[in-house]
Structures are given as C-alpha cells and as structure tokens.
A and B are shown apart, each in its own frame.
Chain A
C-alpha cells in the first residue's frame, strides 16, 4: 500500500470507529438507566398498592 498520508488515513478511520463506539456506549448506558428506572417505578407502584 502507498504509505503517503498514512497517518491521516489512520486518523480518519479512528475517528469513524470512535464516533460509532461512543454512540453504541451511549445506547448501552441508556439501556441500563431505563431498565433501572422501570424496575424502581414498578417497585414503587407495588409498595403503594400494598399500602
């Protein structure tokens, strides 16, 4: 492969992967947060129904 501008090609591919990975991580974090919220709200509802 032609080695000219190889460093910037690396930066380009790295930028693409970093953005994609960052978005996937935000999806994972949101999934966990939502699961936690559903869980705690259901527990609150059950507690209030018992009272």
Chain B
C-alpha cells in the first residue's frame, strides 16, 4: 500500500513537472535583460527551498531523536539530509552556470555563496561522519547533535541576502515575515511556486525510498551480529 502511494505521488509530481516545463519554456514571457538564462531560476530557487525544507525537517527530527531516543527519527534525519544534499548540489550548479553569464564568473566568495558552500560541506561531513561510526546508538546521537547545529548554517544562508550586501540578487519572492521581496512578476512567481511543489513531492518520494533503505541497512547490521554470535 505504502509503495503504491509513493508510486502515485512520484507519477503525479513528474506530470506536474512536465506541465511546469511547458509553462517555463513556452508560456512565460522572456526576461528583458538576461535572455533565456533567466529560466534557470525556476529550478535554482525551488531546489534551494527544497533543500532548506529537508534540512529543517532533519533538524526537527534530530531534536526529537535526542529527546525521545527513537530510531525512526534518526532514519528520517539521515534520509532528509541525503536528499537535501542532492538538491543543494543542484542549487549550486545551476546558480554557478547562471552566474557565468550574468556576472561573467562561475563563483564569488560573497556572503550568500560562501554560506551556501559551508552548508553543503557541513551536511556532506554529517553523512561522512555517520559512515565512520559502527555503533548505531552512538552514531544516531552524534549525528543528531551535528544535524541540529548544522541548521544554523541553513538559517544564515537563507537570511544572508537580507543581512549583508551581496553580489547574489536580493529577495524577490513575497514570503510571509519578509520585509523585502515581492518584486517578481506574479505569473513567474506562480510558476516558481508550482515547480517548488513538484520538486518537493519528488524529494518526499526520494526521502521515503531512502528511509526504507536505512531500515534495511539496520536489518543487515542486525543479521551480521547474529551471524557473528553463532
């Protein structure tokens, strides 16, 4: 039943993505200064929002693990971080390609980009650290602490364009609680939000698949212990 739901969600998200691609490439008007390259933002911004959401949920479940000591929270945390990291890489790659045309450089060490890079390294380190620990409860405890503190980097990355003057463009989306922003064309913003929805559902399906694998990994560890004990 659970697999069927995941399958339906995956198909629905893919169909929405195809519909969004049609809107992005065919329906939406051109941007005056940037040419075709501006269309990258319909993947760049949603990819970052998806990874921010995944890291936020991973942070929440890490705190829940530290409080309740239930492995299901650790399973969700590692799955969300891994999928979030894939979307972080998409955000970095698409942003860098956009920058090559608009700024004339692939990368610059301004506050937003630097914190985004630090966030990427922190969560990559989180995944590497987990692989170095054999004991499941020690691994889960240390990982939960790292994941909780790593979220501060996500918050700084998100707010960097408001706190500092950066080469990265300032806020354009109209988000609740944000004083700046709201400068994007409503039609473009609607397309961007729908693409966020499609990528978010795809990320959700990937997290669910990854959670199954993490459970199976624990099964392997338990079977190994039984084999060695015999």
Residues of A within 8 A of B (CB): 1-6, 8-9, 11-13, 15-16, 19-20, 23-24, 27, 30-31, 34-35, 37-38, 41-42, 44-45, 48-49
Contact = CB atoms under 8 A, between A and B. Distances in A.
Interface in B19-68: 25-26, 30-31, 34-37, 39-40, 43-44, 47
Given A12-B37, A24-B206, A31-B213, A5 B101 contact: yes
A1 B36 contact: yes
Contacts of B202: 20
A13 to B, nearest CB: 7
Contacts of B37: 4-5, 8-9, 12
A30 B217 CA distance: 10
B47 A16 contact: yes
A6 B36 contact: yes
Interface residues of B, number: 37
A31 B216 CA distance: 9
A38 B227 CA distance: 12
Contacts, number: 93
B174 to A, nearest CB: 24
Contacts of A30: 213
Given A6-B35, A9-B39, 16 more contacts: A1-B25, A1-B30, A1-B36, A2-B31, A2-B35, A8-B101, A12-B44, A16-B47, A16-B94, A20-B86, A23-B206, A24-B206, A34-B213, A38-B220, A42-B223, A44-B227
B183 interface: no
Given A12-B43, A13-B40, A41-B224, A19 B93 contact: yes
Contact of A27 (B36, B90, B209): B209
A9 B26 CA distance: 14
Given A41-B223, A45-B226, A8 B97 contact: yes
Contacts of B40: 9, 12-13
B210 interface: yes
B230 interface: yes
8 contacts: A1-B25, A4-B35, A6-B36, A8-B98, A15-B93, A19-B89, A20-B90, A31-B213
B36 A41 contact: no
In the complex, which of the residues B34, B37, B89, B227 has the most CB atoms of chain A within 10 Å of its own CB atom?
B37
A48 B224 CA distance: 13
Given A5-B34, A16-B94, A30-B213, A41 B86 contact: no
In the complex, which of the residues B36, B94, B206, B216 has the most CB atoms of chain A within 10 Å of its own CB atom?
B36
A45 B213 contact: no
A20 B26 CA distance: 23
